[in-house]
Homo-oligomer: A and B are copies of this chain.
Amino acid sequence: MSSAPDDVLQLLRQRGQAPDPDALRSLMRGVAAAPEGLAGPEWVELVAPTADPVLTKALVAWRDILAQTDDGLTASPAPLSRLAALREELKRRGLDGFVIPRADEHQGEYVPRGSQRLAWLTGFSGSAGLAIVLADRAAIFVDGRYTLAVQAQVDTSAFVPHQIPEQSPDAWIAANLSKGGRLGFDPWLQTVDGHDRFARACERAGGTFVPVDSNPVDAIWPGRPPAPLAPVQPHPDEFAGESSESKRQRIGTTVKAKGADVALITAPDSIAWLLNVRGGDVPRTPFALGFALLHADGHVDLYMDRRKVPARTLAWLGNAVTLAPPEELGAALDMLGKIGKRVLVETATVPVWAADRLQAAGVSLVRDADPVALPKACKNPIELEGIRNAHRRDGVAISRFLEWLASESTRRPLREIEVSERLQALRQETGKLRDLSFDTISGAGPNGAIVHYHASTATERILEPGSLYLVDSGGQYRDGTTDITRTVAIGTPTPEMRDRFTRVLKGHIALAMARFPVGTTGSQLDALARYALWQVGLDYDHGTGHGVGAYLSVHEGPHRISKVASSVALQPGMIVSNEPGYYKTGAYGIRIENLVAVREAVIEGADRRYLEFETLTLAPIDLACIEVSLLTDAERQWLNDYHRRVRQVVGPQLDDGSRAWLEHATQPL
């Protein structure tokens, strides 16, 4: 293929643009490496700021062709020739092994296709994992969620699967690396904390942990996609609620107070929130990949590919934000050393590459949490109002969906994928949906018991009478990110299902009603959501709640509600999910998830400041699944009050038929 299609070049020339064909193709390959989303081809702005429909259509057609180019990522298991080629490459470089983590430079939940080295090399597509390749053996490490997937996706004769944390990569390295062995790693992909563990393991084996200049996987990956290029757009004050200027000043002061002059920010959601911009480089999450240096005086050096930043966004960023190519980050870190600056880094996420470069430049590091994470988590009143609006809107889509499901499932057999597509379509009918906030989990019967289930034509089941159907889904709206799980009885549920559902609901309500003193962490509250299940010897193997961004990541920190000890107290404005569940393998899954916001509790005579949760999500909880005798009066009251709110807020937005169904679905118990 030529570097750019003639029709596109001609259309551009007709409109007075004279693009360099190679540069244009490079730009379009970046565009094609970004996910498509549901908001239309806004990326056209990057190619032609004022494209008409004809040009747009031609560009979209080209993008679609580029996006279909085989990058080798769909091969599962991956051909063993890749492993052989990597071993050849390692030998050439004088390395005895190499570590291939799932993570990219930003240590986020999603990584762009060109960074999915673990998936390309092994076929494993899970969201966490790690392979280690030695000359004569290789291992892949995944957690309990993926023990089945790894068997299905990976050639386990070549990559021996290990389950973390029971079997640790550290121990494997210590046992398998030969004395004097050189185990390579990509310092962009290894965090400082992670590196130190692995380096010690190499030491125990009598070997060394060796950084490479360039990733050997990239050298042997033909058709590897370039970095994604999705347009970076302003996130206006009407949603952000605080100017970037104000945020930068405020957090610059924090950086100063921590004893640093500059903070290196590597989390793209932190950058998006700090600069009031949104992007689209990875699926389901509206941020742009890049790095930032936040100076104590509030100015920011942003390291990001200029091609994805339209002129209007450059203007929006203002003159206290300078834009530079990512390749210049290294020189900037060197300069910080020359002028004697102290730099704050978060060792749990910062790449070894950056920390080493800083230390080589003589910079003293201040090790602390990403200073943006906590302010970002505490939503301001404008953000909160946007989030409430997003939930009111989302609640209409969910309620219409539940009504459709209730009636349609009595008429014909429904399958998981068509059901989740129906839900997406109803969300799109709001006219405001930018994207889903994650891939919908649509699980009928036994599939509902698989916590991270993803329906495919091979696995999907029919929603059968007498079964439970679990649907966990969410939307990205400019004013907020939603995440809701409902579990619905198809036909008549068994008494056991109702008992379990009601215990999950009791946990949900205990948390929803909880008031707690300032200073309380999510770890302290977690047991409230499990107590009713624990009493009958049941539990669920996931956290009870995760933070949620404001039109950002559906999973964000630094707070959470889980068994794992946390030092981060819940604070007013934090959004967190309330999602206890119960899963009976091979039978059914139950989860009841609402998002809640932490707010001040107004309690007369309180002995100190107390907080409580405001429930944001508005959609019926299936009354058919509830065993009323298990509820206390207070719990029943909470449910009735909640359902009244749903009726009052969602009802007026429905047509008469749907409203009648909602009245019925939310009737008081």
Residue positions of A touching B, CB distance < 8 A: 510, 513-517, 519-521, 523-528, 531, 534-539, 563, 565-567, 601, 603-608, 610, 632
Contact = CB atoms under 8 A, between A and B. Distances in A.
A521 B539 CA distance: 15
A537 B537 CA distance: 31
Contacts of A535: 513-515
Contact of A526 (B524, B534, B601): B524
Contact of A516 (B514, B527, B528, B536): B527
A515 B514 CA distance: 20
Q: Which of A517, A524, A525, A608 has the most CB of B within 10 A?
A: A524
A605 B526 CA distance: 23
A523 B567 CA distance: 12
A319 to B, nearest CB: 39
A632 B515 CA distance: 19
What is the count of identical protomers in the complex?
2
Contact of A538 (B531, B565, B566, B606): B606
B632 A538 contact: no
25 contacts: A510-B531, A513-B535, A514-B534, A515-B535, A520-B527, A523-B524, A523-B565, A524-B526, A524-B527, A525-B527, A527-B527, A527-B528, A528-B531, A534-B610, A536-B603, A536-B606, A537-B601, A537-B603, A537-B605, A537-B606, A537-B610, A538-B606, A538-B607, A539-B607, A632-B632
Contacts of A524: 523-524, 526-527, 563
Nearest to A601: B537
A241 to B, nearest CB: 29
Contacts of A603: 536-537
A534 B563 contact: no
Nearest to A537: B606
Looking at chain A's contact residues, is the secondary structure mostly helix, strand, loop, or mixed? loop
Contacts of A515: 534-535, 537
A524 B543 CA distance: 13
A534 B514 CA distance: 8
A632 to B, nearest CB: 5
A349 B639 CA distance: 51
A507 to B, nearest CB: 12
B534 A516 contact: yes
Contacts of A610: 534, 537
Given A537-B604, A537-B608, 7 more contacts: A519-B563, A521-B565, A528-B528, A537-B606, A537-B610, A538-B606, A539-B607
Nearest to A602: B537
Contacts of A539: 517, 607-608
A514 to B, nearest CB: 7
Contacts of A536: 603, 605-606
A607 B534 CA distance: 10
Q: Which 10 A-B pairs have the closest CB atoms?
A: A537-B606, A537-B603, A565-B565, A524-B527, A515-B534, A632-B632, A537-B610, A516-B534, A517-B539, A538-B607
A528 B566 CA distance: 18
Contacts of A514: 531, 534-535
Nearest to A517: B539
A160 B585 CA distance: 64
A587 B519 CA distance: 26
A519 B527 CA distance: 13
B537 A607 contact: yes
Nearest to A629: B633
A542 to B, nearest CB: 14
Contacts of A517: 534, 539
Nearest to A539: B517
A66 B204 CA distance: 60
Q: Which of A519, A536, A567, A608 has the most CB of B within 10 A?
A: A536
A200 to B, nearest CB: 14
Contacts of A605: 536-537
A508 B323 CA distance: 59
Contacts of A607: 537-539
A627 to B, nearest CB: 15
A583 to B, nearest CB: 9
Contacts of A520: 527, 563
A535 B638 CA distance: 14
A585 to B, nearest CB: 9
A71 to B, nearest CB: 41
Nearest to A608: B539
A515 B535 CA distance: 5
A603 B539 CA distance: 13
A604 to B, nearest CB: 8
A604 B496 CA distance: 14
Contacts of A565: 521, 523, 565-567
Nearest to A519: B563
A606 B517 CA distance: 33
A567 B566 CA distance: 11
Contacts of A632: 632
A606 B539 CA distance: 9
A78 to B, nearest CB: 35
A136 to B, nearest CB: 30
A581 to B, nearest CB: 13
A537 B601 CA distance: 9
Contacts of A513: 535
A523 B527 CA distance: 10
A179 to B, nearest CB: 21
Contact of A523 (B510, B519, B523, B606): B523
A319 B515 CA distance: 59
A81 to B, nearest CB: 43
A606 B531 CA distance: 14
A605 B582 CA distance: 14
Nearest to A582: B607
A567 B603 CA distance: 33
A532 B598 CA distance: 19
A432 to B, nearest CB: 37
A496 to B, nearest CB: 10
A632 B534 CA distance: 18
A117 to B, nearest CB: 34
Contacts of A519: 563
A508 B524 CA distance: 17
